[in-house]
Amino acid sequence: MPLLGAVSMVSLVIVSHSAKLAEGVRELVEQVTRGRVNVLTAGAVDATTLGTTPDSVRTALDRAQASEGTLVLVDLGSAIITTEMVLEELPSDRRARVLLCEAPLVEGAVAAAAQIAAGATLEEAAAEARGALAPKLVQLGVGGCGDPALTGGVIPDVETVVTVSHPLGLHAMAAAAFVRMASQFQATVWVRSLTRNTCTVNAKSLNALSQLDVRKGHVIAIAASGSDSSLAVAKLKALVESGFAEGDLPGGRRETPRGRARLYPGRSSRSMGRPVLGDARLAGHGAARNPVSLRKPTGEGLYQRQHRSIGVTATRAVLDAMAYVREHYADPITTRAIARSVFLQPQYFCRVFKAYTGIPFMTYVTNVRVAKAKELLARTGLSIAEVAFEVGYRDPNYFARVFRRVQGISPRAYRRLFSEGGPGSG
């Protein structure tokens, strides 16, 4: 099973002469889609030399293989030539699942990614990318409301009016969240700006929504027609009123950065949030050397000290990583694998994780494992070796050293605290 849930079924490859430009586009896409799209970069010779190389494009396409295909966006002329050369070498079955799109690089990537995150097909994402310049033309006063999804005379089943309170209005990330939610429903959904008296546009298109140029304080109308129209309008209105903070979806599900699993799987029966008896008994046994271990090491609230400084996407990535550790502490866990699963570079992941929690990632893993070990030592008759295995350590001696370093006391001595004077003893 994947580490942290599945991402979209269409991948996105950015081919650029500049490694910094490609990484910047990838970062922008991940911010807008909150990590829901698999984005790969390729082309640049190295971090400082401009140019494109076939090998980097091949590598990106190999990593980007997805069941629904791969959308490729490029910057300048030779990037097109390089990419076409690589595509010609691919077997026909693979080549058929790769689409080289002529859309503008930055705008096209963001527009396509928003549709991919909402479940669009390869062709639908490419079509959205091709129309990505329309919102800019409208906002700069060069063109009118381009390619609007008018109702065509259809009378909506439900319509509501709401005022946009977000300081940035219906900005890119907010519009992407709106598109994702609208796409969840079996209904046709439209939006128009009453403040600017715009045309009516398709609520499931990032390009269309961006053309409305909705700012803070603007009043918009949301209308829908179809089986889910009432629920769709109610949910979308609530999304706008909340400042575009995505929450519960129909059916009790909750959106997460990777698929539709619950954001906090650690709240299951294996949650590490339960208090462990006997912590007070450790006074005088060196436990104060690691005060974090004496608190609830797995609750998110303990660590939310600096989350505002690392951004929404990084915060979500950290929460995903913490949730995975709480659920899979017994499995092999490496920083590189977890960072890759949340689509962050390992060094950057380590930096934002420590900014959010105040401790390094592997220290958090150790704290979770030791907390579970304490529970097993206090409440079960498992041997020290069995406890070590249950919490992810294959070497009992190494487990004992880690436990002593964290708690200031050996696992055997910790167990004796309960057997000699624990609850229920005579």
Predicted local distance difference test score (pLDDT) of residue 148: 45
Q: What is the pTM of this model?
A: 0.48
246 token code pair: 């995505």
Category of 309 on φ-ψ map: left (φ > 0), alpha (ψ -120 to 50) or beta = alpha
Predicted local distance difference test score (pLDDT) of residue 199: 81
Residue 111's nearest CA partner among 10, 208, 206, 212 is 206
Say if CB 38 and CB 11 are below 8 A apart: yes
Residue 282's nearest CA partner among 421, 384, 376, 424 is 421
CA 93, CA 23: separation in Å to the nearest integer? 29
- For 349-384, give one letter per residue: b (16+ CB within 10 A) or e: bbebbbbbbebebebbbbbbbbbbbbbbbbeeeeeb
Amino acid at 246: E
Predicted local distance difference test score (pLDDT) of residue 270: 34
Residues 6+ apart with CB under 8 A from 334: none
Amino acid at 206: L
Residue 276's nearest CA partner among 292, 294, 299 is 294
Give just the sign of the alpha carbon dihedral 42, 43, 44, 50.
negative
CA 137, CA 104: separation in Å to the nearest integer? 13
Beta strand 98-101 with 70-74: parallel, antiparallel or unpaired?
A: parallel
Predicted local distance difference test score (pLDDT) of residue 171: 80
CA 179, CA 89: separation in Å to the nearest integer? 36
What is 131-168 written as a DSSP string?
TTTHHHHHHTTSS-S-S----TTPPPSEEEEEE--STT
The β-bridge partners of 161 are 221
CA 407, CA 282: separation in Å to the nearest integer? 8
3-state secondary structure of 223: strand
Place of tokens 């909506």: 156
Per-residue pLDDT tens listing for the chain (426 residues): 333 334 558 999 999 998 889 989 999 888 888 888 889 998 766 777 788 888 889 988 988 876 689 999 999 878 888 899 899 999 988 899 999 998 899 999 998 998 898 888 999 899 888 888 877 776 676 555 544 444 455 678 888 999 998 877 888 788 888 998 998 898 899 898 898 888 888 888 888 888 888 888 899 999 998 888 899 999 999 999 888 875 433 333 333 333 333 322 333 333 333 333 333 333 333 333 333 333 333 344 444 444 445 667 778 889 989 999 999 999 999 998 898 877 788 888 899 999 989 999 999 999 999 999 999 999 999 999 999 999 999 999 999 999 999 999 999 999 988 776 554 443
What is 248-275 written as a DSSP string?
B-GGG-B--SSTTS-S-GGGSTT-TTS-
Phi, psi of 96, deg, nearest 5 = -65, -20
